[in-house]
Amino acid sequence: MKTKKFYGKGLPNVDTSLLKGNLIVIEGSDGAGRSTQIGLLQNWLERKGYPTVVVGLKRSELVGEALASAMQGNTLTSTTLKLFYATDFADQLERVIIPALKAGFVVLADRYIYTLMARDVVRGSSMEWLKEIYGFALVPDAVFYLNVNPRTLAERNFRKRGYLDYWESGMDIMRVGDMYENFIKYQGKLHRVFETLQKVYGFTTIQGGRSPVAISKEIRGRIEKLLNAEQSTMAHEISSVNNIHSDDHPA
């Protein structure tokens, strides 16, 4: 098993060699099917005997509720929003993700720093500044970006909620026609940033316009290869240790 590493300086006093679990990220905009895929993955992994924990944006015990409440008023400035989300993520990393990985859990992240970075780039932040800010983040074992056409995203959001979200439509930073037009433009910008992030961070893009079953099958196939490779490595390490002990104590 490869030792985990941070993107930058990381968190202090964290021995990454003790992080034996796996961190798997599902990325994508609202309506991309993240929650569905997280649920299917969790059921599949637990049936195979892997304990799991799910994390996501705005779920920090420290600031999660305050962030969600503040966003309801649509009054946060871009800078305040960025700092809120960075704090939310850092708190979950320290309190949930790292302890779960130490305990050997599979951590399923319903979005990660890539969504935060994409949103911030669209709102004017530089990529270099964001890399510095999120240098404390762990490098996941696998990242899957569900790529869905903006018009399909809009249709799914209308079916699910009956309306489009203010923030997911980018209404805080631009006004192009009505909210639907704004949503299409904003989501298109986000996708272009994700294409850049994919080149930088090397995550896997999944075509999210297909059926949930087809998408789940593709993701499971990739994760199964990851888990099988780790099991083979562990078996080899155990075998090597046993051989050393045998050499130390000849018959």
**Per-residue pLDDT tens over the stretch 38-71:** 999 999 999 999 999 999 988 887 776 777 776 6
Burial class (CB in 10 A: 0-12, 13-18, 19+), 199: exposed
pLDDT of 236: 47
Q: Is residue 9 part of a domain?
A: no
pLDDT of 82: 82
pLDDT of 243: 55
> Whole-model pTM?
0.87
Mean pLDDT confidence for 109-132: 94
Q: Is residue 228 part of a domain?
A: no
Quick check: 143 and 27 in contact, CB under 8 A? yes
Mean pLDDT confidence for 142-153: 97
Q: Is residue 165 part of a domain?
A: yes
Residue 238 predicted with pLDDT over 50: no
- Rounded percentage of the chain residues whose pLDDT exceeds 70: 88
Q: What is the CA radius of gyration of the chain?
A: 20
pLDDT of 57: 87
Q: Is residue 93 part of a domain?
A: yes
As for how many domains the chain has, the answer is 1
| pLDDT tens digits, 214-231 | 999 999 999 999 998 877
Q: Is residue 244 part of a domain?
A: no
pLDDT of 182: 94
Please, what sign has the CA dihedral across residues 232, 200, 117, 185?
negative
Residue 162, domain CATH:
3.40.50.300
pLDDT of 43: 98
Q: Which residue has the tokens 């994508």?
A: 28
Q: Give the torsion through C-alpha atoms of 65, 68, 70, 71, to 10 deg.
A: 180
pLDDT of 15: 95
What residues make up the domain containing 53?
Answer: 16-210
Report the candidate in 23, 188, 14, 11 with the shortest Cα–Cα distance to residue 112: 23
Q: Is residue 232 part of a domain?
A: no
Mean pLDDT confidence for 233-246: 52
Burial class (CB in 10 A: 0-12, 13-18, 19+), 33: buried
Pick the more confident residue, 82 or 179.
179
Q: How far apart are CA 82 and CA 130, in angstroms?
A: 10
Q: Is residue 30 part of a domain?
A: yes
